[in-house]
Amino acid sequence: MTVVPAVLLAASLAVGTVPGFAAAVAHAVQEAGTGGLVHTSVHATPLGVLLGLASAAPALALAAVGVIRPRLLAAPGRALPPRRLQSGHVGDYVARLLVGT
């Protein structure tokens, strides 16, 4: 259950930090067919890599807190009534989408 998020996180980190990986991904997407869209080459800069790592670090820290100490991120008591309305059934998501739109 954690394999997919781990792979996506690793791939997003690789696109931002490994030189040439972003170009390879862009080429693969272009080869797969993009409906006539033209891709431009992507160049990694040191500032871009630094910003990517700086934004990934707090996300990883927050995820670690959520896994190690979930009570720190638990919803307050006033949030429990709306949370009880969510059963996890697909129909709940569809109903909320329709009401929201």
Tens of pLDDT, residues 11-21: 888 877 777 87
Amino acid at 86: Q
Q: What proportions of the chain, in percent to the nearest 5, are helix, strand and coil? A: 70, 0, 30
Confirm whether 53 is domain-assigned. yes
Q: pTM for the whole thing?
A: 0.43
In a domain, 96, yes or no: no
Amino acid at 63: A
Q: How far apart are CA 63 and CA 67, in angstroms?
A: 6
Q: In which domain, by residue range, is 71 found? A: 3-75
Q: One-letter amino acid identity for 70?
A: P
Q: Report d(CA 67, CA 64) in Å as an integer.
A: 5
CA separation for the pair 42, 29 (Å, rounded)? 13
Instruction: Tally the domains of the chain.
Output: 1
Confidence band for 83, pLDDT divided at 50, 70 and 90: confident
**Residue 101 within any structural domain of the chain:** no
